[in-house]
Structure 1
Amino acid sequence: MNKNANIVEKMVLATIGHEKRQKIAIPVFSILVALIAGGIVIALLGHNPFYAFYNLLQGCGIAPKASYAGKKGMITDFMDFMDNLTPMIFAALAVAVALRSGLFNIGVSGQMLAAGFLATVTVGYTSLAAPIAKPLVVIIGILAGACVGGLIGFLKYRFNINEVVSSIMINYILEYVISFFINMYFVDPVSRQSKNVSTAARLTFTDVEVGGYKMDIPLGIILAILTVFLVRFIMNRTVLGFEMKAVGCSRTAAKYAGIKVGKNIVITMVISGALSGLAGVTYYLGYFASIQPKVLTSTGFDAIAVSLLGNNNPVGIIFSSFLITVISKGSTYMSSASGVQQEIASVITGIILLFSACGAFVRYKTGRLRDTVKERKGEK
């Protein structure tokens, strides 16, 4: 029994117990556990899990399908996937920035909705030319998201209102107020969604013919990659980034060190909200061209899993966004090709979130296990 226990301990320490490798090992472990659990559920439902997972890749243009419609192909599916990936990167960055200061921005979806709606009614329904409309959409999205995020930060700083509570309440307020205005003034009587924005205002080039294929080309993906490295620079190379980290580690210690904690909280939420705003305009005026009333996009909530899976590291978020978007985007094709319910994708994402959130606990337990093994060796 002791031998078996020792073997298990060695395996745990060799896989996820190494301190320097844990930032990568724990997320990989979370993904493997989630895929195994999802595979078991799919098998119990009477489907082939390997084929179902392959369908996820096919639905995102990463693997070829058996057949395609006219002027469609693997490249068109992949460009559509990239269009869906863009707001996810921005949303995950928004979560990561807030977590840097120990704040939990669960209101990303509401901030996305506010930015998307304001950009839609101020620019999306105008006849402005594309060179003017597209930059204006981005600017309005940043300002709208920053204002909502800043409000949450101010409520935390001035009245000590928990940001989770205020974020959730503001989500509901924005959802129903914006739905009222859409249904009263901007609704499309056929789709029952807001009227489509003009092509000039969209952050996606639609139905572009390239090499015989007709595809959508997302403009925001370039901005998303640039923003990743900008956020990384701010976090790791600036005084603001250091202060955010200090406040996130201990507000009391940061205060004694002379850091203005309240000001830092507000600035952090302004930045987080601005990133949410970028996610909103690339979603509602990029991937989509309209807003569905009384619906908050799941992107803002999936972004929590993405950020945790990427260890709140901007570069890691690129890879985790890619994975989570593959699961969510490819689930539609998986459902039609394999007959597997789309909800299985949510199960997999949820398990990834669960184990990623337990990362600190796993590091603590493996640390204790390392100490125990060292003590045994010392006794011998």
Structure 2
Amino acid sequence: MSKDNKNINLRNRLIRLMRKEKWQSISIPLVAIIMSFIAAAIVILLIGKNPLQAFCNLFQGAGILPKPSYAGYKSMLTDFMSLLNAMTPLLFASLAVAVAFRAGLFNIGVAGQMLVSGFFATIIVGYSGLDAIIAKPLVLLIGIIAGGLMGGLVGWLKYKFNINEVVSTIMLNYIAQYIISFFIQMYYINPVSRQSQYISEAARLTLVNVEVGDLKMDIPLGFVLAIITAILIKYVMDKTVVGFDIKAVGSNRNAAKYSGINVGRNTVLAMVISGSLAGLAGVTYYLGYYASIQPKVLSDIGFDSIAVALLGNSHPIGVIFSSSLISIIDQGSTYMSSQAGIRQEISSVIVGLILLFSACGVYMKYKISCMSEKVEERKESKS
């Protein structure tokens, strides 16, 4: 068999593999990631740097690969735990966006829902002096309730007055940002850091500087909960009536209404679930990854989660892998910059390219379908 024929056969096998719908949730995001890294490598080459070294430094900074040397009390394990600590709120936030996507909604208000949840948990529990065994579960409960109420408000406005959720969430983001900033600066400001007063260690969802052997590491208590939540969301969406109704509403609201599904109730419910997940992202961010709130600032996680949800194809398990990838890029960018001499903003370029190629997922499906049809036609003509 000639080399050209081997290449054609390999291409045809790849097309047949990617044509299968059950694999497209994995294959298309994987292609998007590969294409984005190739594009990023070209950018790095254009600025005169070695892309292989840059990507190696990126993974070293995130704790995926070992560094040549470490500071005292640090190792690859401590870097990896820091990665999980940063990934936890991003995973919750991305699940929030993914659930809304399943219902045909665009929850761009995750950052505001995070801020509201984090603020209420901070002033109610963070400054209360409660014991850890009470404070930590209470922080999670407040995050779920505050985020769920805010998300439910958006769903109710959509159902009752047909107010586009993008408009309402953007407006609520600004409302939350400036009202909470006012209260922090008036009552809870730290005169040194110019952020809110630091919360008690008992209320914090990350155990900081825990000594394990000769290491000191940060242990995110919410990470395991985030993984369990992703699995639970998958089960609800795939195996329950509630999940079927939400997906039906997201696929076609008119058809769902005609079949007897309560569109309004499921719209509100989807946004309550999405808001609750955003609330968990808020408390694991403001009372976990950080221990205070910066006034007038919305977390970038609320917006990065959109890219993560798109990359994960709005699938809970896919979101776990996509959030880990984006976290690796974010956490490793500082070390990459210092070792490879590449500006830290290159990491944002990589994330942007991933988002760009992920947004082309529908086009990729179309092209794969067209190419597979041509392959079948050639088979038939030969036979």
* Among candidates 309, 325, 339, match of residue 323 of structure 1: 325
Letter in 2 for 1:225: I
TM-superposed CA distance for 1:21, in Å, is 2.7
Q: Any residues of structure 2 matched to 1:175-324 within 5 Å, and which?
A: 175-324=177-326
Q: Distance in 1 between matches of 2:252 and 2:336?
A: 45
Query: 2 CA distance for matches of 1:229 and 1:16?
Result: 25
Q: Which runs of 5+ in 2 are unaligned?
A: none
> By how many angstroms is 1:75 displaced?
1.2
Alpha-carbon distance between aligned partners in 1 of 2:294 and 2:149, rounded to the nearest angstrom: 22
Query: What letter matches 1:295 in structure 2?
Result: V
Q: Distance in 2 between matches of 1:243 and 1:360?
A: 23
Which of 335, 349, 352 is the aligned partner of 1:350? Answer: 352
Kept after mapping to 2: 8 A contact 1:115/1:141: yes
1:268-320 alpha-carbon deviations (Å, 9 max, x no partner):
00000000000000011001101111111111111112112222111121111
Distance in 2, matches of 1:57 and 1:247, equals 40
The 10-residue stretch of structure 1 (337-346 or 261-270) with the greater mean CA deviation from structure 2? 337-346
Query: Secondary structure in 2 aligned to 1:337?
Result: helix
Deviations 1:211-249 (A, max 9, x none): 111111110011111111111111111110000111111
Q: After superposition, where does 1:143-154 map in structure 2 within 5 Å?
A: 143-154=145-156
CA contact (8 A) 2:40 2:350 kept: yes
**1:20-49 residue CA offsets vs partner (Å, 9 max, x unmatched):** 432211111100111111111112112211
Closer/same/farther in 2, CA of residues 129 and 20 from structure 1, 3 Å limit: closer
- Report the alpha carbon displacement of residue 128 of structure 1 after superposing the two structures with TM: 0.8
CA separation in 2, counterparts of 1:290 and 1:257?
A: 48
Distance 1:348 1:12 in 2: 25
Q: Any idea what SS the aligned residue of 1:217 has?
A: strand
Between the two proteins, what is the percent identity of the paired residues? 60
Match of 2:129 in 1: 127
Q: Distance in 2 between matches of 1:31 and 1:11?
A: 20
- The structure 1 segments of at least 4 consecutive aligned residues displaced by more than 3 Å after TM superposition are 5-12, 14-20, 375-380
Aligned to 1:88: 90
* Residue of structure 1 equivalent to 2:368: 366
Give the TM-score of the pair, scaled to structure 2.
0.94
3-state SS, counterpart of residue 291 of structure 1: coil
**Partners in 2 of 1:50 and 1:17 — Cα distance?**
31
Q: TM-score, normalised by structure 1?
A: 0.95
1:45: which partner in 2?
47
Deviates more, 1:135-144 or 1:54-63: 54-63
Preserved contact between residue 86 and residue 289 of structure 2 (Cα < 8 Å): yes
Tell me if structure 1 keeps the 8 A contact 2:26–2:318: no
Specify the code of the residue in structure 2 equivalent to 1:200.
A
Question: Paired residue for 1:115?
Answer: 117
Question: Partner of 1:216: helix, strand, or coil?
Answer: strand
Deviation at 1:12, TM superposition (A): 6.7
Secondary structure of the 1:290 match is coil
Q: Where does residue 23 of structure 1 map in the other structure? A: 25
The answer to whether the 8 A contact 2:336-2:344 is kept is yes
CA distance in 2, matches of 1:214, 1:373: 57
Letter of the 2:150 counterpart: V
CA distance in 2, matches of 1:104, 1:257: 24
Q: Which amino acid aligns with 1:186?
A: Y
The equivalent residue for 2:63 is: 61
Contact 2:177/2:295, CA 8 A, preserved across alignment: yes
Aligned length: 379
Aligned with 2:218: secondary structure? strand
- Could you say what the CA RMSD is over the residues aligned between the two structures, in angstroms? 2.0
- The answer to whether the Cα contact below 8 Å between 1:55 and 1:337 also exists between their aligned partners in 2 is yes
What is the rounded CA distance, in whole Å, between the counterparts of 1:349 and 1:15 in structure 2? 27
| CA apart distance, 1:332 | 1.6
CA distance in 2, matches of 1:370, 1:243: 33
Tell me, in whole angstroms, the C-alpha distance in 2 between the residues paired with 1:44 and 1:59. Answer: 23
Contact persistence 1:9–1:369 (CA under 8 A): no
Give distance in 2, aligned partners of 1:214 and 1:9. Answer: 50
> For 2:375 and 2:136, how far apart are their aligned partners in 1?
59
Q: Which residue of 2 aligns with 1:97?
A: 99
> What residue identity is the alignment partner of 1:203?
L
Shift of 1:19: 4.0
Give the Cα separation in 2 of the matches to 1:367 and 1:352.
22
Distance 2:235 2:122 in 1: 31
AA partner of residue 361 (structure 2): G
Alpha-carbon shift at residue 165 of structure 1 (Å)? 1.3
Question: How much does 1:371 deviate?
Answer: 2.2
Residues 326 and 351, structure 2, Cα contact 8 Å, conserved in 1: yes
> Partners of 2:8 and 2:133 in 1: how far apart?
65
What is the CA-CA distance between 1:339 and the residue it aligns to? 2.0
1:334 to 318, 336, 358: 336
User: Do the aligned residues in 1 keep the contact of 2:16 with 2:372 (CA within 8 Å)?
Assistant: no
Q: How far apart, in 2, do the equivalents of 1:331 and 1:40 lie?
A: 17
